[in-house]
Structure 1
């Protein structure tokens, strides 16, 4: 089977029932296990962005694709771009796991490693700065810009449609809540908006990482990769979210390990964070809860699933069983925290400036 033939099979991940008692016992929720779909979660985004660019003439035949990634989108781009005949350069940073670097290289991507974080924007801004230099040096190259590309959001509508079909096949009607991890804003916006069109009363719960500035917190070093951001991605649709949770690495580690022991479908930081909040929601909200497990466990064998690594960072201690509640997204979140008011960053910043004046 050729690469082009496989592109037509991107997605189609299984929907599973999860009853693992994390953070406490609950009645169960449904999760789309994206690591078991062809190409993984971000192959959906990569395919949509590159096909859109080719259609508009922004990506010429054989032109190089250049993107910044913490790993997962890199896999999707390496898979999709080269099947379409485009070489790929991926800008990563020094904290990316060696196994993931090796895998990206094995898949034929040129990997550029950034060694120093930006003083304000962290690794993410440092990668973007390096990316712009590469694009400037190679005329005709194309930057998909996953953070601000509407085609990325559009690429996840099919995932929403799969959820509708899978729930119907399971004899399930309207869900009450969707739990989505948030990084670039692509899959949370694409899936959330599509499902909200079908089910207007659906509650959409965003899951962010401690140290991420997406929802109004100050940027700080983040141990967890795959969710959160040091910049404000244009793809995040703030009006979509009814509430947001900032989850810590201890909760994510506990969830990932419990899922592996109990259900045999597990993943990394974003999966652990989503599972924590989905389990909490399933215990507290009536009706059906749906979430998305964005990745698998393979790249985390020397971190989340390494006892020595976790013990050194205090991640094997008992996690929280419920979030701390705040009423304003600007209040510092130092542990798993929940806020039921989700303003856009400009609105939050405006309130802060007014109160400081």
Structure 2
């Protein structure tokens, strides 16, 4: 079977299962981050998921495929088809090799060339949609093409990361690892996109520490918490649709972060402690440093979803940043702008709200 991508042909043929690969999943280290971001803070803990084979979402990818196999929804050797902005695609490429399934991914024209090459190198078929949908942006366009592929591939399985509860369940091991690494935890900072790890990690940790304060971190231009959907430069967090996996009731507050703030934070991490990553990493690190600074004595932890490698041509590229007006505003503010309700003001930079609502259930 041949899958035609925008630029070249990728192949998604039979895959021999390599279950021994599953031993490479998880058990990532926790790093103590004390570099000023941009101001001094007492430090916070970061779970370095970029050091796991397949990255952060390999945990979810394996859980979703295993769950589908157990329910009979995914036959042995059947293809797996999914929409991705990159991170889940790498996780599914890992899970497909480990469990013996060809993987066909639908990305978009903004998917970084390095990630396209990596996905193909790992054996995934790749299609790229060329235009965002008028409503729902790139995500809606990808899902529309995905549905066409499902019609053309009888027996193919769509994990549907946005709404699949196995996505959430896949992060139970991460919660256990964080809990076992710390004597106590006061604040957990989670990036929010499909809702997987932000729904799967806090629950088990709250059972251990019932007063745990959970902060959700979203991208400006994301509709998850009731802000208007706008074109987004940042990838890996935020959404133009409403994933059912997002558990709005878990969060005590939400922060929206913009690309300039994420870039500044990522670069400070890279220069100051050699531990850095992409858009989500910059966003959660900024908020985790603020939480540690404003809650004296609190133990703060977050998750760095990936490393810096796929962002060499974006976050860490001066020309790219200048083209997008990043780097001209100076360092991030000392604190976020406070708003009373997610619909009170449109967030255009770092913004905090202590009223968290599900926009599908809350009246306008």
TM-score, length-normalised on structure 2? Answer: 0.93
Question: Per residue, is there more helix in 1 or in 2?
Answer: 1
Task: State the Cα distance separating 1:203 from its structure 2 match.
Answer: 0.3
The aligned counterpart of 1:9 is 24
SS in 2 for 1:127: helix
- Aligned: 1:90 with 2:100: no
User: Is the contact between residue 54 and residue 93 of structure 2 (CA under 8 Å) also seen in structure 1?
Assistant: no
Counterpart CA distance in 2 for 1:144 and 1:320 is 39
Please list the CA deviations of residues 131-175 of structure 1 after superposition, one character each: whole Å capped at 9, or x if unmatched.
0110111110000000001101000010010001111xxxxx321
Task: State the Cα distance separating 1:236 from its structure 2 match.
Answer: 0.4
The aligned counterpart of 1:309 is 320
Mark the runs of 5 or more structure 1 residues left unpaired by the alignment: 168-172, 353-357
RMSD of aligned alpha carbons: 1.0
The aligned counterpart of 1:336 is 350
Task: State the Cα distance separating 1:3 from its structure 2 match.
Answer: 3.2
- Aligned: 1:294 with 2:305: yes
User: Is the contact between residue 13 and residue 38 of structure 1 (CA under 8 Å) also seen in structure 2?
Assistant: no
- Aligned: 1:109 with 2:124: yes
Q: Note the 1:1-357 alignment, pairs <5 A.
A: 3-167=18-182, 173-286=183-296, 287-317=298-328, 318=330, 319-331=332-344, 332-348=346-362, 350=363, 352=364
Mark the runs of 5 or more structure 2 residues left unpaired by the alignment: 1-16
Task: State the Cα distance separating 1:85 from its structure 2 match.
Answer: 1.2
Task: State the Cα distance separating 1:297 from its structure 2 match.
Answer: 0.5
TM-score, length-normalised on structure 1? Answer: 0.95
Task: State the Cα distance separating 1:52 from its structure 2 match.
Answer: 0.6
User: Is the contact between residue 38 and residue 268 of structure 2 (CA under 8 Å) also seen in structure 1?
Assistant: no
Task: State the Cα distance separating 1:347 from its structure 2 match.
Answer: 3.2
Counterpart CA distance in 1 for 2:85 and 2:38 is 27
Runs of 4+ in 1 over 6 A off after TM superposition: none
SS in 2 for 1:347: coil
Q: How many residue pairs were aligned?
A: 344
